[in-house]
Amino acid sequence: MDRTIAIRREDKNEWERRVPLVPDDVRWLKEKHGIRTIVQPSGIRIFSDEDFRHAGAEISEDLGQASVVFAVKEIPAALFEKNKTYVFFSHTIKGQPYNLPMLKTMIGRQCNLIDYERVLNEKNQRLIFFGRYAGLAGMLETLHAYGQKLQARGVVTPFAKIKQAYQYDSLEQAKAEIAAIGAEIDERGFPGELCPLVVGFAGYGNVSRGAQEIFDLLPHKILSAEALLEMIDNFSSDNLNLVKVVFSEDDMVRAQQGSFELQDYYAHPEKYISKFENYLPLLSILVNCIYWSERYPRLVTKEYLKNRTVLESNLQLQVIGDISCDINGSIEITREATKPDAACYTYFAEKDRFEDGVQPLGVTVMAVDNLPCEFPRESSVEFSQVLRDFVPDIATADFGRTPENLLLPYAIQKALILHQGNFSREYQYMKDFVK
């Protein structure tokens, strides 16, 4: 049985340096499972061609001999080969219009599509993800933006020292610098006019935990959403500098009738409305880490920001780190995705207009859409360590069989969106996207 896989180079943009499988795991697959790997050459990949060659991989432009092709981001439609299996983040399960031509090509060429986003266990938990690194990089970017915004207003804080994630040599170096800033705040305090600095985290999953991992290096007090509302009048800059609040679903929305029920909310979000505006006047920074589609209520709307700006000249909310980055989504002022070299833009609600970059006034939005690429080495290693265990089953599967006889592990069967160009049972709803 064929045991040849391929790793294609990433070419979506110049920032994408990650790999789905790192050289050490390519070597492990060859030595333990006899799996041959062909790697496309790349001049920007975080692991060089020579790194892969030393690990036993073959470097070649031609991936034709591989039965399975692994990638990270979307693959150009012209590159799909008939009947071949592709494993990557397809960004299609919500009907994203920009990827529907790619999906239609895969259907026409009878391809098999396995999507990392849908590799789930029996508890419906994701097993392979970059989410933690999106959170780690996203929090650094958000704190950097906040520091720059204050500096532009002439307010000096330790946050002005924070660099963008990609400007650090490693995650370890970034954490060390944030910890040092935390020690400085602990010793000297934070400017009284900015206190309490309330940072809200929408969501509590892998992305949020990654973001909190950075923030937790700073001295802070933790409050529940309920306690935030109850205690805000008693806050004093003398005893409270930084505050962390993590919002769950029942904090963010309420049922239009009856009480909140989590599973009912996910099944029927139209029965719920946002109550997040209760907290927005108290937040200086919002870090958005939630899953969102058009069926769900928004967290921040243009209407709210306009009304708040008219009523109060100084809006408390300064920066939104929109790690989820749904365009015009849960954060309505997320107008477009950005890249690390131009990570932010600023929204002025009173005139409903945007300006590029971090501006002294207005609400600044950080909307980098591929944040894990700012830590390409560490994020690739962690991702690969999980993926490699699934590779032998994928590489040896006979995709000519019927879906029920593929003998794939549960998690991979769950992630099989297309089989021989047809939508698997769980993804029949996607037929409506490609009509």
Using alpha carbons, list the distances in angstroms from residue 326 to 19, 289, 322, 373, 403.
Answer: 24, 10, 8, 18, 33
For 256-271, letters b (16+ CB in 10 Å) and e give eeeeeeeeebeeebee
Q: How far apart are CA 203 and CA 211, in angstroms?
A: 11
Question: What is the radius of gyration, based on Cα positions, of the chain?
Answer: 23
Q: What is the pLDDT of residue 321?
A: 98
Q: How far apart are CA 325 and CA 339, in angstroms?
A: 12
Q: How far apart are CA 182 and CA 186, in angstroms?
A: 6
CB 19, CB 373: distance < 8 Å? no
Instruction: Return the percent helix, strand and coil in the chain, to nearest 5.
Output: 40, 20, 40
In the predicted model, what is the mean pLDDT of residues 349-374? 96
Count CA within 13 A, CB hemisphere, residue 47: 27
Q: CB neighbours of 136 closer than 8 A, spacing ≥ 6?
A: 165, 171, 174, 210, 211, 213, 214, 375
The secondary structure of residue 153, as a DSSP letter, is T
Query: What tokens appear for 280 in the block?
Result: 């927005």
pLDDT band at 313 (very low <50, low <70, confident <90, very high): very low
Q: What is the pLDDT of residue 239?
A: 53
pLDDT in tens, 151-202: 999 998 999 999 999 999 999 999 999 999 999 999 998 888 888 999 999 9
pLDDT band at 433 (very low <50, low <70, confident <90, very high): very high
**Sheet of strand 363-366, all strands in order from the earlier edge strand to the far edge:** 221-223, 242-247, 197-202, 285-288, 319-322, 363-366, 344-348, 353-356
In the predicted model, what is the mean pLDDT of residues 222-233? 86
pLDDT in tens, 381-416: 999 999 999 999 999 999 999 988 999 999 999 999
> Does residue 234 register a pLDDT over 70?
no
> Does residue 82 register a pLDDT over 50?
yes
For residue 427, the Cα-to-chain-centroid distance in whole angstroms is 22
CB 135, CB 213: distance < 8 Å? yes
Domains along the chain with CATH numbers: 4-129+376-422 (3.40.50.720), 131-374 (3.40.50.720)
pLDDT in tens, 103-125: 999 999 999 999 999 999 999 99
Looking at this protein, which amino acid is placed at residue 203? Answer: G
CB 174, CB 217: distance < 8 Å? no
CB 219, CB 196: distance < 8 Å? no
Question: How far is it between the farthest Cα atoms of the chain?
Answer: 70
Bigger pLDDT: 315 vs 216: 216
Looking at this protein, which amino acid is placed at residue 164? Answer: Q
For residue 260, the Cα-to-chain-centroid distance in whole angstroms is 27
The secondary structure of residue 8, as a DSSP letter, is P
| CB atoms near residue 83 (< 10 Å) | 13
pTM of the model: 0.91
Q: What is the pLDDT of residue 237?
A: 47
Q: Decide the pairing of beta strands 4-7 and 36-39.
A: parallel
